[in-house]
């Protein structure tokens, strides 16, 4: 199993037309936890991997987590979207992270990219904060 940071900028990104902020993510975790997310690269994601959602604004922090349901796939119907990945938000863990997010400093994040692996030293903090 691998752990990935998935970057969301609430000022630019949307989730089915809704703002990609931590409030929307918490509501989705409680009401509609299944997601299809855009990826610029296939990466090496596998079923069972975790996606930790890092929100860039207003507070730079991880405040939600999901489990990958299936490996990324091509979207031949939309040439602007290279890959999609199916994931399900983990409701209890997302609630815990919503209450006490993991800050950028705690993650040791340098340059922010759309998707990157979690640094080994950050994983224990994420797991503990999420109650996993």
Residue 85: give its domain's CATH number: 3.10.590.10
Q: Is the peptide bond before 58 cis (omega within 30 degrees of 0)?
A: yes
Residue 120 has phi, psi (to 5 degrees) of: -55, -35
pLDDT at 75 (0 to 100): 77
The answer as to whether 12 is a domain residue is yes
The answer as to whether 75 is a domain residue is yes
The answer as to whether 50 is a domain residue is yes
The answer as to whether 28 is a domain residue is yes
Q: How far is CA 31 from CA 27, 35, 108, in A?
A: 6, 12, 32
Listed as ranges, residues in the chain with pLDDT below 50 are none
pLDDT at 40 (0 to 100): 81
Tell me the pTM: 0.93
pLDDT at 43 (0 to 100): 73
pLDDT digits (tens, 9 = 90+) for 35-51: 999 888 777 899 999 99
pLDDT at 76 (0 to 100): 79
How far does Cα 68 stand from its chain's mean position? Answer: 10
Q: How many domains does the chain have?
A: 1
pLDDT at 18 (0 to 100): 82
| Residues 103-109: contacts with CB under 8 Å, at least 24 apart | 103/59, 103/60, 103/61, 104/54, 104/60, 104/61, 107/5, 107/54, 107/62, 109/5, 109/54
The answer as to whether 36 is a domain residue is yes
- Tell me if 14 sits within 8 A of 20, measured CB to CB: yes
The answer as to whether 113 is a domain residue is no
The answer as to whether 54 is a domain residue is yes
For residue 12, the enclosing domain spans 3-106
Largest distance between two CA atoms of the chain: 40
Residue whose pair of structure tokens reads 């992270």 in the numeric block: 97
The answer as to whether 130 is a domain residue is no
């Amino acid at each position: 199993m691998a752990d990935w940071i998935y970057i969301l900028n609430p000022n630019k990104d949307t989730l089915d037309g809704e703002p990609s902020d931590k409030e929307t993510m918490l509501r989705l975790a409680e009401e509609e936890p299944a997601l299809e997310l855009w990826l610029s690269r296939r990466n090496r994601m596998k079923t069972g991997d975790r996606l930790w959602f890092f929100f860039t604004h207003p507070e730079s922090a991880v405040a939600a987590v999901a489990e990958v349901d299936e490996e990324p796939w091509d979207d031949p119907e939309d040439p602007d979207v290279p890959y999609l990945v199916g994931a399900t938000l983990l409701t209890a863990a997302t609630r815990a992270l919503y209450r006490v997010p993991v800050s950028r400093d705690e993650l040791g994040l340098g340059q922010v990219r759309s998707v990157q692996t979690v640094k080994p030293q950050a994983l224990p903090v994420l797991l503990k904060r999420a109650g996993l």
